[in-house]
Amino acid sequence: MHDLYGVNMILKGKNILITGGATGIGLALAKNLSNLGNTVIVCGRRQQKLEEAKQKIPSLNIRKCDITNNNDRVSMYKWIDSSFGGIDILVNNAGIQRYLDMRERNEMPNNDEIEINFSSLVNISYLFLPMLMKRKEAAIINVSSGLGFVPLARFAVYSATKAAVHSFTMSLRHQMKDTCVKVYEIIPPIVHDTELKGKPIEKTENSVSSDEVADAVVDGISNDMPEIAVGTAKRWHTASKSEAEEIFRRINS
């Protein structure tokens, strides 16, 4: 487990950018953080989803932005700088998930998952870090997954991107340790009311709602927890090698 910061971050009066915040976990987090008195900006590729999000949370600020596109990222950065005077918190939440069976020869693997889930997270963090480092108290919050700790074979690349997010987040936290930027990792289990699989998935005893994840994030950050695992992901997150192998066998059988 990582060292605690020894300071409970105040989640009030902050400017917060949530990538992929128009739906699912990002939207639930946007709602919680807006209710706590923060200025929340969400971005995503689909204008309609952004507008629907604004109808649900009128105080929300929305921005069409494909985080894989450097021009989009830079123009969002400039807009945030001029319209809001910067952000204090960057939530790297945008993500996609694809099925992949390496035995099937229909088409080449789609590297969008690597681009969206990992490369863009690195690039957008790099872009916003100088802005964050000028603030009094700042944070980067990265959303990984329980599958970053125990992979689900049919989501082979997705699981690998989430393991990469975990590894990168540890290194970033270490690099930022003498700065004002705290680095958090959110580790959700299956979340049933999101668009990750194109449609809401069946609620089970192992799944949670996006509101439960958002509540755990606010609670964890307010209580100085750099790694916030939710529901069944708590066990995956702290599993020994043999426990992880046992979970791997069970979920892939």
Q: At what angle do helices 210-222 and 24-35 cross, to 10 degrees?
A: 50
Max CA pair span of the chain: 52
- Tell the smallest beta-carbon distance from residue 145 to ligand NAP (Å): 4
Give me the helices (H) in 134-190, please.
156-175
Catalytic residue (one of 99, 126, 158, 184): 158
The residue with tokens 């952000």 is 87
Query: Does residue 158 carry a catalytic annotation?
Result: yes
- Tell the smallest beta-carbon distance from residue 93 to ligand NAP (Å): 5
- Tell the smallest beta-carbon distance from residue 41 to ligand NAP (Å): 12
Residue closest to ligand NAP when measured from CB atoms: 24
Are residues 124 and 89 in contact, defined by beta-carbon separation less than 8 angstroms?
Answer: no
Nearest to 74 by CA among 140, 15, 120: 120
**Could you list the residues that contact ligand NAP (CB under 6 A)?**
19-20, 22-26, 43-46, 49, 65-68, 93-96, 116, 143, 145, 188, 190-191, 194-196, 210
**Among residues 183 and 196, whose Cβ is nearest to ligand NAP?**
196
- Tell the smallest beta-carbon distance from residue 180 to ligand NAP (Å): 25
Residues 6 or more apart whose CB falls under 8 angstroms from that of 4 comprise 224, 225, 226
Instruction: From residue 213, give the alpha-carbon distance in Å to each of 26, 103, 108, 166.
Output: 10, 35, 34, 17
The three-state (H, E, C) secondary structure of 5-72, written as one string: CCCCCCCCCCEEEEECCCCHHHHHHHHHHHHCCCEEEEEECCHHHHHHHHHHCCCCEEEECCCCCHHH
- Tell the smallest beta-carbon distance from residue 144 to ligand NAP (Å): 7
Separation of alpha carbons 67 and 69, rounded Å: 5
The catalytic residue positions are 158
